[in-house]
Each structure stands twice: as structure tokens, then as C-alpha cells.
Amino acid sequence: MTNTRIPKKWFQFGLLAAVTISMMVYAYWPSPYIIYRPGSAEEVRPMIHLEEAYTEEAGAFMLTTVNVLSNANTATYWYMKWFQKHAQFFPEEEIFREGESHEEYRERQGYNMMNSQSMAALAAYEAADVAYALHTEQVIVLGVQDGFPAEKALDAGDILLEVNGEQAEDTETVAKLIQQHEVGDDVKITFERNEEVREAAITLVELSGGTDNARPGIGVTMGNVVEVVPDDEGKIVTIDAGSIGGPSAGLMFAMEIYNQLVPEDVTKGYRIAGTGEINGSGEVGRIGGVRHKVLAADRENADLFFCPASNGKEAMAAAAAIGTKMKVVPVSTMDEVLAYLDQLPTKVERSN
């Protein structure tokens, strides 16, 4: 009779291999969650440059960030769940747009940061009564819809230059140039990718927008990169925020730009942190992750934390939970920030 028993050493080897493979799968299997954690609070002054500016500040404006893990694996997810008490978990569909890839999300956040810088400069110029003009600098691809013709030719981050030889001045112009043609026509799109100019012929399909709004298109989401140009060249603003993305630094950018445009130091010696998307009229819009930004501001010893009024309850609850002495101030406009600071006693005077 033949002995069919598996030798013990081979059984042990097989068991070890199975356990090892299982652990590797567990470690590298992607998690369907986006994880938020407290990020940083960083002084804005070094990020802003104007030729003719009041740059000495007795206090500081600080933008606040959220540490976002958008591609965490399963092992990271459980580590955060067990050991990071401030971690917050969101299903991807709550953060990403429908059909949006990780790359397109990053591109959208980068675009939002560029746009927030332009809107911050615009709001600051309005508040400081600085004359300016607006120009669309470029049209950028933010995303490409799955299954549509543009998917094979364009990527998020591409800069649109021409449609059938006509300049892509802004998103409205691009749409009009495309909609001059019929479904089934080819349009030649000239675009820039990685500083290289390319061309692609893309066949138009019907975009559904209801019976009365069906139209030819290629299936892309676009955004205008707007440049705000002051009449006085000495007041041209450049901003270097490094790798920080998203629109939520807009309020703090606007406040710092304003403070460099006017002779009085509106910080009055206080360390002022904050967050909030801003538009050219100075209106402050809701943002995500405010509880994490409160913690980041407290860690950097901020005296004040300005946030959108719609985030006020969450921000004040987060401040109460950590017992901070920092004052949380919900606002709806940049003018409200300026009015609040105006009524504060001066802590330290500006030196210049």
C-alpha cells in the first residue's frame, strides 16, 4: 500500500506560505475609505510676495490643513482605527465625484488651490481698494468621464489651447466651439501636457442633459485659471503654497495679502489661524475637516481661529473637546474678520 501522507515539513511550509500571502493581501488591499487627520498650521506671510508691501507683522496669519490619506490600504485603515483617536473616516463616494479617479481628485484639489489664490487676491484688492483687471490665463482639464471619446486622448491636468484651430479663451468659449458641430463630427483639440503641445481628433457624442439640453460634447470637466492683475505692478501678488491643495486656504491668503497692502497691521500682535473658501466678493464658504484644523491651530498656539459660519458649531465643539484657550470665530465674509480684528485691543505694534 502506498503512503499518501504529506510530509510534516511540507505541510508547515504550505501553512507558512498561506499565512504570508494572507498577510500581504491584508496589508496591501486598498481600503474604500478616505482618512482625515489633523494637519498643520503654517504662517502665510512667507508664502506671499508683493514688491511694494508692508511685510512686518507683530502677529501672524496661519492657514490650516487636513492630513488626507486617499489611498490607504487595509492595514493602515485598522491602524488608524485603533491608534489614532482623531482620525475620521469617509467612504470614497462622499469625497470623490462620481467616476472620479485618485489622479483626477488630486488635479481638482490643485486647481482649487490655484483658484483660491486668485479669489484671495481679488477679495484683498477689493477690500484695500486696489484697481485691477481679470484675465483667463488657461483652461485646464479637471476630469474625463468614463466611456466618453475624450477618455482616449485627454488626461486631468491637460491645458486646452485650441478647438479646430480657434483659441480656447475660457471654458465658455470651448463649449461654444464644440457645440458649433454635430454629433459624429470630429473636432481637433490642441492641448499641452508636460510642457509638450499635442493634438487629438475627437469624435463628438451626445451629452444627455434632459430633452431640452442634449448637446454635442467630448465628456470632459474643465476649469478656468483666472489671473488677477492690479494696475500697479508693485502690487502684483505671487503665492507659493508648496504641495498644499484645495480651496480652504483662501480666507487666510486674502487676509495676509490685505495686511501687506495696507499700512496698519491688522494682526495687532495676535496669532490668527483660520480656514474657509473665499470668492472675489469676500464671501466665506463652507469647507471640510474643520475639527482637524482646530487641533492643528491649537498646536501652534493660535489666539484666534476664523472659520466659515456654516462650520461654526463643529469647530466650537472641537475646541471645547480639547479645552483650548483659542477663540473660535465663525464668519460669513472677510469684512466680518476685519471688523472683529478692528475691535480687539492691540497686543503688539507693527514695527514698520
Contact (Cβ atoms closer than 8 angstroms) between residue 70 and residue 104: no
- Residues taking part in catalysis: 248, 293
Q: What is the pLDDT of residue 64?
A: 97
- Of 20-29, 89-98, 178-187, 229-238, the range with the lowest mean pLDDT is 20-29
| Cell 462620481 sits on residue | 98
Q: How confident is the model at residue 232 (pLDDT cuts 50, 70, 90)?
A: very high
pLDDT score, position 244: 83
Read off the pLDDT of residues 187-219 as tens digits, 9 standing for 90 and up.
999 999 988 999 999 999 998 755 556 789 999
The answer to whether residue 180 scores a pLDDT higher than 50 is: yes
Rounded to an integer, the average pLDDT of 22-30 is: 55
pLDDT of residue 280: 92
**End-to-end distance of the chain based on CA atoms, in angstroms?**
100
Lookup: cell for 16? 507558512
pLDDT digits (tens, 9 = 90+) for 328-348: 999 999 999 999 999 999 986
Residues 6+ positions from 149 with CB-CB distance below 8 Å: 202, 203, 204, 205, 218, 219
Residue 62 contacts by C-beta under 8 Å, 6 or more apart in sequence? 41, 42, 43, 44, 252, 271, 272, 273, 274, 297, 300, 302
Give pLDDT, residue 247.
Answer: 86
The dihedral through the CA atoms of 191, 193, 195, 199 has a sign that is negative
pLDDT at 1: 46
The per-residue pLDDT for range 267-302, each reduced to its tens digit, is: 999 999 999 999 999 999 999 899 999 999 999 999
Question: What's residue 25's pLDDT?
Answer: 53
Which residue segments constitute the domains of the chain, with CATH numbers given?
A: 33-131+231-342 (3.30.230.10), 137-225 (2.30.42.10)
How far is residue 1's CA from residue 106's CA, in Å, rounded to a whole number? 66
